[in-house]
Structure 1
Amino acid sequence: MILVACSGGPDSLALAAVAAHFARVGRCRVGAVVVDHALQAGSAAVARRAAGQLGELGLHPVVVRTATVHSGGMGPEAAARTARYAVLDDAAAALGAEAVLLGHTLDDQAEQVLLGLARGSGTRSLAGMPVRRGAYRRPFLELRRADTEAICEFYGLRPWLDPANSDESFARSRVRATVLPFLEDQLGPGIAQALFRTSRILAQDADYLEQVSADTYAGLRTEQDGTVLLAEHRLRALPPSLRQRVLALAAVDVGGLQPSFERLRAAESLLARKGSAGPVQLGGHVSVSRQVRGRSVLPGTPSYGSLVFRNNRSGAEPQHRSIQE
């Protein structure tokens, strides 16, 4: 069975209508999950209305789930997204779904790339949203938002227009309402399509670099007393783009967070063997330090001439699976 994640907006309703067509011709069984974030007055009624339209399209089962949104230090958009995916994961597992369809469009991808540029992000972030990741699929990524609105009109659907999409206190709303139209006006039409093409090119680059980085890290990594060690002379031989990715993999491997570019550069500076031997804090209770040569360690042992990654939480264990993610 395939599930459509539906908010009641034009993109997800249009996706549900197209999926329902394939269900009617016997290509697949299609159900839907409506996620109520419970962040706005009347959200439960919006969810029920969306569920009713999905039922009329012939989707079955149609379930409504309420998300519990916790900020946890995240912004409101990130917190809602985290809660939404948690609900979708649970619903897919409970219903035995093979895939979950998401209604993101080319316009959403263009906005994502611009937001990444504004943050000064790296290749993976600028690659935007993948067409598929795990059980999730985005079949509408090459369609424009106007296309989904036309599909809704064709099927006589009544989409809900989320007022948050026009609330310019949110960065994405400002990009949608002001930044992209301004760029189109100043640089000519086709900006959204150009940003989408950029995301596709960078996604290929990011996939390749991540695979090479994972293979390189696996070949460099040694473990000693709950720490991860990387030989300095082998790290110095790597090109910077690969070296920084390997350092990031080590930080995540011992249970930390993805380090920022500035933190990675600070860790990389330890290889110059000038000044302090560390530790450099990388976030998530992880630190990296340079093995001090004056310490009583025999040459050739794993800790001689290595960067040492350590999780400073008591009882923390290296997370080996993270290098595959």
Structure 2
Amino acid sequence: MRRLEATWLDQIRRRGDGVRGVPVLVACSGGGDSVALLAFLHTVRASLDLELAVAHADHGLRPESEADAAFVRELCRCLDLDLVEARLDVTGHAQREGLGLETAARELRWAWLRTEAASLGAPLVATGHTLEDHTETVFLRLARGGGLGALTPLPARQEIRWSPLIEARRADLRAYLTQRGLPWREDATNTEDFTARNRWRKLLEGLRTEAPALDAHLWETHRQASELLDLRDAWLMETQGTRWGLDSDGLWLEGLFAEPELRRVLEAAARAAGWHREAATLRRLAAWACQRMQRRNRCEACWGGWRIRPEGSRWRVAHGSPVGADPSIGRVG
């Protein structure tokens, strides 16, 4: 086993990806990342007891797409692996749904991959995401909003997706392919500025000159943020049904909460109920509600479209002000 293969296999085991003894559908575009992924998994399939099949989607967006498909067919023939293929009408889907081409391609591709994986009895789809992909996704998320979720956007496993090379660098994948004498296809559109990811990719090249360990540091931040999110979720599960809960009348609260605790409950309730959950709003709501709940004079009040009222030993929080209420006023009545 080559040094890089041993390193990547150790990362899979250290992370606890939990992938062993299952069929895996490997998404392969023919590019360097996915070819390296396929070659690596093919090499370590016995070590992980994996049964592999390959999926290639032709998005029909580039003149070279048919040559990419032919390349993947030949690669699968050489590796003696089954291949499933699809030609996706990305342009039509984008026009019908009013989407950008990148979003439309992702939606169609993953809908097809899920269907193929289910038909093959494969619980996982392996993708060639790398450490640089993780960094790019962090910056894309931070550009849209903050929070711990922006720091943990691309875990090694997420639902059906498995990215075993998420801690590997693109340069190492190319070096690995070169060592093995394996060719790959280059997608020239990856260097064009028509997507936000491509633009961030160019910006990050400059940042890495100043901070060469940026990607590794962001991955460590990801790991620590994930641990905090796990602790948060464990606390929410432990307290749900005893200190808080959701029913047809909204959110109920039992006892007093520290402001960070109440904010976590409000975020979970808003997510479950489909309420507006902009982080700054929920932070201000939690601070206001904590103050109201600590007052001796327990009475109904309204703030910013939210209403809180005493209900026996509990408090009731609901989204929506009474008719005629001014949402800019902290108290009604």
Deviates more, 1:158-167 or 1:209-218: 209-218
Once residues 67 and 76 of structure 2 are traced to their aligned partners in structure 1, the CA distance between those partners, rounded to angstroms, is 14
Once residues 148 and 282 of structure 2 are traced to their aligned partners in structure 1, the CA distance between those partners, rounded to angstroms, is 15
Of residues 278, 287, 290, the one that matches 2:307 is 290
Report if aligned partners of 1:17, 1:155 keep a CA contact under 8 Å in 2: no
In the alignment of these two chains, the number of paired residues is 286
Once residues 113 and 194 of structure 1 are traced to their aligned partners in structure 2, the CA distance between those partners, rounded to angstroms, is 12
Match of 2:169 in 1: 144
Once residues 185 and 139 of structure 1 are traced to their aligned partners in structure 2, the CA distance between those partners, rounded to angstroms, is 27
Once residues 253 and 228 of structure 1 are traced to their aligned partners in structure 2, the CA distance between those partners, rounded to angstroms, is 11
Instruction: Specify whether residues 172 and 47 from structure 1 end up closer, same or farther in structure 2 by C-alpha distance, changes over 3 A only.
Output: same
1:176-197 Cα distance to aligned partner (Å, 9 max, x none): 22x222112234x222222222
Match of 2:270 in 1: 251
Once residues 233 and 88 of structure 2 are traced to their aligned partners in structure 1, the CA distance between those partners, rounded to angstroms, is 32
Once residues 26 and 111 of structure 1 are traced to their aligned partners in structure 2, the CA distance between those partners, rounded to angstroms, is 29
Deviation of 1:65 after TM superposition, in Å, equals 2.4
Of residues 30, 35, 42, the one that matches 1:8 is 30
Letter of the aligned partner of 1:228 in structure 2?
G
Query: Aligned pair 1:306/2:326, yes or no?
Result: no
Structure 2, unpaired ranges of 5+: 1-22, 293-298, 321-333
Once residues 308 and 144 of structure 2 are traced to their aligned partners in structure 1, the CA distance between those partners, rounded to angstroms, is 34
Deviation of 1:47 after TM superposition, in Å, equals 2.7
Report if aligned partners of 2:300, 2:308 keep a CA contact under 8 Å in 1: no
Structure 1, unpaired ranges of 5+: 281-288, 294-298, 311-325
Once residues 120 and 279 of structure 2 are traced to their aligned partners in structure 1, the CA distance between those partners, rounded to angstroms, is 40
Instruction: Specify whether residues 34 and 118 from structure 1 end up closer, same or farther in structure 2 by C-alpha distance, changes over 3 A only.
Output: same
Once residues 52 and 309 of structure 1 are traced to their aligned partners in structure 2, the CA distance between those partners, rounded to angstroms, is 57
Once residues 267 and 245 of structure 1 are traced to their aligned partners in structure 2, the CA distance between those partners, rounded to angstroms, is 12
Match of 2:180 in 1: 155
Q: Secondary structure at the match of 2:252?
A: strand
Instruction: Specify whether residues 264 and 100 from structure 1 end up closer, same or farther in structure 2 by C-alpha distance, changes over 3 A only.
Output: same
Deviation of 1:38 after TM superposition, in Å, equals 3.1
Q: CA RMSD in A?
A: 3.1
Pairing of 1:183-262 with structure 2 (within 5 A)? 183-187=207-211, 189-219=212-242, 220-223=244-247, 226-231=248-253, 234=255, 237-240=257-260, 242-254=261-273, 256=274, 259-262=277-280
Report if aligned partners of 1:113, 1:199 keep a CA contact under 8 Å in 2: no
Q: Secondary structure at the match of 2:182?
A: coil
Runs of at least 4 residues of structure 1 off by over 6 A? none
Q: Secondary structure at the match of 2:302?
A: coil
Once residues 133 and 58 of structure 2 are traced to their aligned partners in structure 1, the CA distance between those partners, rounded to angstroms, is 21
Q: Secondary structure at the match of 1:157?
A: coil
Match of 1:130 in 2: 155
Q: Secondary structure at the match of 1:290?
A: strand
Letter of the aligned partner of 1:40 in structure 2?
R
TM-score of the superposed pair, with normalisation by structure 2: 0.74
Report if aligned partners of 1:216, 1:246 keep a CA contact under 8 Å in 2: no
Report if aligned partners of 1:113, 1:126 keep a CA contact under 8 Å in 2: yes
Of residues 179, 183, 204, the one that matches 1:180 is 204
TM-score of the superposed pair, with normalisation by structure 1: 0.75
Instruction: Specify whether residues 6 and 268 from structure 1 end up closer, same or farther in structure 2 by C-alpha distance, changes over 3 A only.
Output: same
Instruction: Specify whether residues 91 and 275 from structure 1 end up closer, same or farther in structure 2 by C-alpha distance, changes over 3 A only.
Output: same
Once residues 227 and 204 of structure 2 are traced to their aligned partners in structure 1, the CA distance between those partners, rounded to angstroms, is 25
Instruction: Specify whether residues 24 and 259 from structure 1 end up closer, same or farther in structure 2 by C-alpha distance, changes over 3 A only.
Output: same
Instruction: Specify whether residues 212 and 66 from structure 1 end up closer, same or farther in structure 2 by C-alpha distance, changes over 3 A only.
Output: farther
Deviation of 1:111 after TM superposition, in Å, equals 1.8
Q: Secondary structure at the match of 1:308?
A: strand
Once residues 265 and 277 of structure 1 are traced to their aligned partners in structure 2, the CA distance between those partners, rounded to angstroms, is 16
Once residues 209 and 68 of structure 2 are traced to their aligned partners in structure 1, the CA distance between those partners, rounded to angstroms, is 35
Deviation of 1:8 after TM superposition, in Å, equals 1.4
Percent identical residues = 31
Letter of the aligned partner of 1:247 in structure 2?
L
Deviates more, 1:88-97 or 1:16-25: 16-25
